[in-house]
Amino acid sequence: MPKSLSFEEAATLTCSGLTAWNALFGHPGKVVHVGDHVLVQGTGGVSIAALQLAVAAGATVVATTSNKEKSSRLKDLGASYVINYRTTKNWGQAARDLTPEFRGMDHVIDIGGYATLSQSILATRPGGVLSVVGASGGFEGERPDILEVLFRGISLRGIVVGNRQMFRNMVEFVEAKNLQPAVDDVTFELKDLKAAIERLRKGEHFSKIILRN
């Protein structure tokens, strides 16, 4: 555990943080580096961790949200651009248009599954990395044109957390960059678990919700 972090901050590393690390640094030969462009979706734990890690690595980060207040917080954490995915339906192209010569994103972290995958593919540059880390949009919806992945040489990865060595590497990076993982403003006692779940269900949280015993 990094000595500079609280227990609450450190708790974000074990699942969300490691998943984000794997997505950005886990593909040999295609780790995120200075000058890369990274797209993260929403303001959940994995997306916020990916944002903070990518910014610390020197990447330009584009984030999506439909909430104005959350948009401001994303920028405070280092996002260079924020796209409102409700008012900008073709947000994949909008993200692509923010890159040099409109080439597309070097890394895309997809959290929505079928609900977002087509736009995520559109946003990814030829030869880029598209990491699917969740299916928060459910298991129904438009099926993406998977041949686009083939024709454009995209590395499509399914991410399920990571391994022990990745965790060690991530902790070293967090310490070296003096990162402070973002957590939600509202903290709940364990007896208020239902209220915490309701906050999560309504999408009112920002990053990880804290439960204290």
Residue ranges of domains in the chain: 7-164
Work out the burial of residue 168: count CB atoms within 10 Å of its CB; fewer than 13 is exposed, 13-18 middle, 19 or more buried.
exposed
Question: Which of 67-71, 76-80, 184-188, 206-210 is predicted most confidently?
Answer: 76-80
CA distances from 90 to 61, 121, 157, 187, 192 (A): 18, 12, 23, 35, 39
Specify the higher pLDDT residue, 137 or 174. 174
Which has the minimum average pLDDT: 2-6, 64-68, 115-119? 2-6
> Does residue 165 surpass a pLDDT of 90?
yes
Cβ–Cβ under 8 Å, residues 46 and 16: yes
Structure tokens at 117: 């995958």
> Does residue 139 surpass a pLDDT of 90?
no
Could you please report the per-residue DSSP string of 184-205? EEEEEEGGGHHHHHHHHHTT--
> Does residue 48 surpass a pLDDT of 90?
yes
> Does residue 142 surpass a pLDDT of 90?
no
- With cut-offs at 50, 70 and 90, classify the pLDDT of residue 1: confident
- With cut-offs at 50, 70 and 90, classify the pLDDT of residue 196: very high
Residue 71, pLDDT score: 96
Query: What's the rounded mean pLDDT across residues 27-35?
Result: 96
Query: Which CATH superfamily, name and number, covers 7-164?
Result: NAD(P)-binding Rossmann-like Domain (3.40.50.720)
